[in-house]
């Protein structure tokens, strides 16, 4: 379904992108005097683990290696800090950094890599003092301390006391104001971003600032609150916005359709209605599903069928876009010069409901469309399908990429040193 707009009332919308682009004024790793220094590096090694504690996707670790190698070449003593999972301020054995430490040693077989049992304290300070040039210490999960997410100043100060210089290469957490991503910057004179952070910011901002037209944005997943604001910012920037996944049902509800038991965010209805109305006046077309795949319940689905959006019943749960919608979206994408995709089109984790996401992904690869995948579940879907090497760029951060798409300056970048 296309949200139409009166031809005679359309107008150009000029967006101020200066805030989003201010990262260019911040120091990168190559602007810092790193020779022989102790460097605290905030990375994002929040990798998925199976039930046995083995890493199932080490992409985030691999993508940080250029920064680590650069620091090794500068004879730095490297202190790496990352969270893992959601331990909620207490020690959780299954969320210790041991699997990450072991994988990092595999990637750096000729480098001495050590692991600490905490991220602050006298024992950690002793290990840091014993580090030699070109050696690495992996700190324990900072989220074992409630002070990390609270951005506690004293906790941040203790982290900062371990090093001379700070480098943030954890794009996926750059939208968080935590002690290790934000608060720690108050205690460093010299701080900059690493190569992965720089690459992520350049890819995403370039696609918004100077995309190869037409620019199409695919938005899916179920977090309407986060992504509805993205729609607002993209009006007048994107040529087309294709809505799928769980968030589509809030949009359909706003248009007066019944969505049954499908996921929806009632609190966002007024905002969604406003954005749909606003789209009538700018050169951005918003597309909603014409048909969807439904079932009776998600956990043990049965009575799976495809129905037009006009025939979603009270007992239906929407789980994927239908064939007609997939074909409509593919036609739009075929005419696109640039595509940014954040959020799957359905519950791709279940094989029965992966088709919409998979077919759209296959089409983009076949058409060789320049596509940026905005991390999170979208990236997980490409990994599941084995498509990760067939696309232009896959971001490591879903939430952070959304913030960039809103035109925001990421907090963890804003606090770095100016050039």
Active-site positions read 60, 223, 376, 399
Task: Give φ, ψ of 307 to 5 degrees.
Answer: -135, 150
Task: Give φ, ψ of 138 to 5 degrees.
Answer: -95, 120
Q: At what angle do helices 323-334 and 355-367 cross, to 10 degrees?
A: 20
Q: How far apart are CA 138 and CA 166, in angstroms?
A: 15
Q: Confirm if 372 and 215 have CB atoms less than 8 A apart.
A: no
3-state SS assignment for residue 156: helix
CA-CA distances (angstroms) from residue 61 to 1, 102, 218, 400? 41, 11, 27, 17
CA-CA distances (angstroms) from residue 326 to 9, 45, 299? 30, 34, 24
Residues in the chain: 419
Cis peptide before 379, with omega less than 30 degrees from 0?
no
């Amino acid at each position: 379904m296309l949200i139409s707009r009166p031809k005679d009332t359309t107008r150009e919308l000029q967006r101020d992108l200066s805030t989003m682009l201010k990262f260019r004024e911040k120091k990168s790793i190559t602007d810092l005097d790193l020779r022989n220094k102790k460097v605290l590096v905030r990375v994002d090694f929040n990798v998925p683990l199976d039930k046995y504690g083995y890493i199932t996707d080490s992409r985030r670790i691999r993508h940080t290696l250029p920064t680590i190698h650069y620091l090794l070449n500068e004879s730095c003593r490297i202190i790496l800090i990352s969270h893992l999972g959601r331990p909620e301020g207490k020690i959780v054995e299954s969320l210790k950094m041991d699997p990450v430490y072991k994988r990092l040693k595999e990637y750096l077989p000729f480098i001495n890599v050590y692991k600490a049992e905490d991220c602050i304290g006298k024992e950690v300070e002793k290990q840091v003092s014993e580090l030699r040039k070109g050696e690495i210490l992996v700190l324990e999960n900072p989220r074992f301390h409630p002070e990390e997410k609270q951005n506690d100043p004293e906790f941040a100060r203790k982290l900062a006391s371990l090093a001379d210089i700070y480098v943030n290469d954890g794009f996926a957490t750059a939208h968080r104001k935590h002690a290790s991503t934000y608060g720690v910057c108050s205690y460093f004179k010299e701080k900059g971003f690493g190569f992965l952070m720089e690459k992520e910011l350049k890819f995403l901002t370039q696609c918004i600032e100077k995309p190869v037209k037409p620019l199409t944005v695919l938005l899916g997943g179920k977090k309407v609150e986060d992504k509805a604001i993205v729609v607002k910012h993209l009006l007048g920037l994107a040529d087309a916005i294709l809505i799928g996944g769980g968030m589509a049902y809030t949009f359909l509800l706003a248009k007066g359709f019944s969505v049954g038991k499908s996921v929806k965010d009632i609190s966002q209805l007024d905002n969604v209605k406003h954005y749909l109305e606003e789209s009538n006046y700018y050169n951005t077309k918003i597309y909603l599903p014409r048909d969807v795949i439904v079932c009776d319940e998600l956990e043990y689905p049965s009575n799976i069928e495809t129905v037009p959006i006009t025939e979603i019943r009270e007992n239906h749960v929407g789980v994927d876009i239908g064939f007609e919608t997939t074909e409509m979206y593919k036609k739009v994408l075929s005419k696109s010069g640039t595509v940014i995709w954040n959020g799957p089109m359905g519950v791709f984790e279940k094989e029965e409901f992966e088709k919409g996401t998979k077919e759209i992904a296959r089409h983009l690869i076949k058409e060789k469309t320049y596509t940026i995948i905005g991390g999170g579940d979208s990236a997980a879907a490409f990994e599941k399908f084995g498509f990760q090497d067939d696309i232009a760029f896959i971001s490591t951060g879903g939430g952070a990429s959304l913030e960039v798409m809103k035109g925001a300056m990421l907090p963890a970048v804003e606090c770095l040193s100016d050039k």
